[in-house]
Structure formats: structure tokens, C-alpha cells
Structure 1
Amino acid sequence: MTQTRPVAEVPAPTRPWHATQAPPRPKPLTMLVATASSVIALTLLVAIGEWTDQVLLIPPLAASMALIAGASQTPLGQPRSVIGGQLVSAVTGFVVLAALGQGVWASGIAGGLALGAMMLLRVAHSPAAATAVIVAATGPSVVPFLALLAAATVILVLVGLVGNRVNKQPYPVFWW
């Protein structure tokens, strides 16, 4: 019978506290195209808004575009989540607005409930929770707000589609 000697454990190499575990920085051209896509999409919303005398650019849409252009492979950046998440959250905001009235308390509740509604409908899109907050805080007219929001999200997805194609990124990963 042969005896095996115990194997000495080799400690795992330790990483200095300041070393990052973040993913590598994208290539310069990739960053340039993503940034340009974002600028084009958001200024297009502003231009259309100025032309129609309507507000199309709201802060959550800038965050949505960041996901479309900079994290296009994630579920949060897919068209289903961007468009569906924004619309579901806006509707959630309107439901809370109707039930509780306009205000900061309603805004907090709307933002939280929007997450649950998006998860239930499988359209999770984190920037959209802020859209529910905006609706409950400002009380916009339902039909114009939803129509403008739908148009704005479609524009973002279309510009993102072009930008991701230029970057040779497969986008979308899924439509529906």
C-alpha cells in the first residue's frame, strides 16, 4: 500500500485593494460610436420636441439610451425592456396618480410599484422606474404623455440599432 503525502495548499494570489475587477475599457472607436449614438438620439428628441412644442426628452430616457448604446447586450437594454418598461412604468405612475394624487409620497410609491410591474411583465428597465416617479410628481396628461414616451423610446431604439450595427454589436439580442 502506498501512502500519499498531503498536498500543500497554495494560497491564492492576493490582489491589491486598489486593483479593479471592472471589465476592460472598450476600444476607442466603440466608445466614440456609443457616445455619438447617444448624443444623436438625445438631441434628436430635443429637436423633435422643439419642433412640436412638446417635451420628448426626460431624464430617464438619457439613462435608457446609455443602456442601449453602452450595455446593448444586457436584458435591460433590449427594445422589449426599453419600450415596454418605460410604458409600463408610466402607466403605473398614472394609476398611482389617480389613486393618491400628485405628490412626493405618490412618487415614491409609483417608483417602487413600477419595478414590480416591470418584473411581472418581464420588461425590467431600471431607468423606467424614474418615469413613474415623474408622472406621479408632475401629473401630465395621460394620452399625450404616453404617445410622446412611446415615440421617444422607439427613436432611441432605432438610433441604438444603427449605432450598434456600426460598432458590429449584435443588437438587439431579442426583440420580444
Structure 2
Amino acid sequence: MGGGGFLRPPLLTPPLAASAALVHGAPALPISQPRNLVGGQLLSAVTGYAVLAVTGRGPWGAALAGGLALGAMLLARVPHSPAAATAVIVVLQAPPAVRFLPLLALATVLLVAIGLLPGRTGQHAVRYPVSW
């Protein structure tokens, strides 16, 4: 794909697809809740950028970022396991933070908003979110 796009489309697809699967497939799980989804994704991205600044792009830095992101999410009490992949993506692809972070924030808020719909239409036994 050419370099003219806002961001390459596959950039956020894997971690956000996993987040969407949790919101729609397991809406009652704590890791599916909005605070965890949005907070975990953003904290993991920031962790990824911190590791990227120290290690540069590469597989060792990506592995470190994934592990540190999981630890940071646990410490902040916003665990959302798919977000570890976001930290890995940041280190491997080094997207410009000024574009990536707002796009990630928007995408996670949209996931939460779309997650609200099935519970409001009676399609889920559990109304999402269980907690904010």
C-alpha cells in the first residue's frame, strides 16, 4: 500500500479485533469493561512508545513492550490482554504518536459505543457495560 494513507489499515486491526471479540462475546468479563478496554489500550500504547524510545524498533523491544504493558495494566488496574499487542505494534512499526494515539482513543471509544447497542436491544443476556 502507498504511503499516502492516514495509517496503514492493518496497524490496529489485531488488538482491536480481539477487544471487539471480548466486548461482544464476553461482555460481563472485567477485561471487557470500558475502563479496561480504553485505559488498557492507551496505557499499552504509551508503554510501547517508552520502550521504542529506549530500544528502537525490533523484536526484542517488542517482546519487552508486550510484557511491560501487561505489568503496567495490572498495576493501573486496567487489565485488557489484547492491548499488549498494541505495545508490540508500536515498537515494531513505530507509528507517529501524534496520529496513532488519537486514532487509538477514537477506535476504543467507538468499540465501547458499539458494545452498548446489543444490550440495549436485548441481544445480550448481560447488559454492557457491567461497570465503568
TM-score (norm 1): 0.67
- Structure 2 residue 129 is the aligned partner of structure 1 residue 172: yes
Larger radius of gyration: 1
Over the matched positions of the two proteins, sequence identity in percent amounts to 59
Q: Quick one: higher RCO (CA 8 Å, sep 6+), 1 or 2?
A: 2
The 5-angstrom pairing of residues 22-171 of structure 1 reads 53-54=6-7, 55=9, 57-166=12-121, 167-168=123-124, 169-171=126-128
Q: Equivalent residue for 1:47?
A: none
List structure 1 segments (4+ residues) > 4 angstroms apart after TM superposition.
none
- Whether the 8 Å CA contact 1:81–1:124 is kept in 2: the answer is yes
**1:22-54 alpha-carbon deviations (Å, 9 max, x no partner):** xxxxxxxxxxxxxxxxxxxxxxxxxxxxxx844
- Whether the 8 Å CA contact 2:12–2:86 is kept in 1: the answer is no
Q: In angstroms, what is the RMSD of aligned CA positions?
A: 1.4
Counterpart-to-counterpart distance in 1, 2:13 and 2:39:
16
Q: How many positions carry a matched residue from both structures? A: 124
Unaligned runs of 5+ residues in structure 1 are: 1-51
Deviation at 1:145, TM superposition (A): 0.4
Unaligned runs of 5+ residues in structure 2 are: none
The 5-angstrom pairing of residues 10-25 of structure 1 reads none
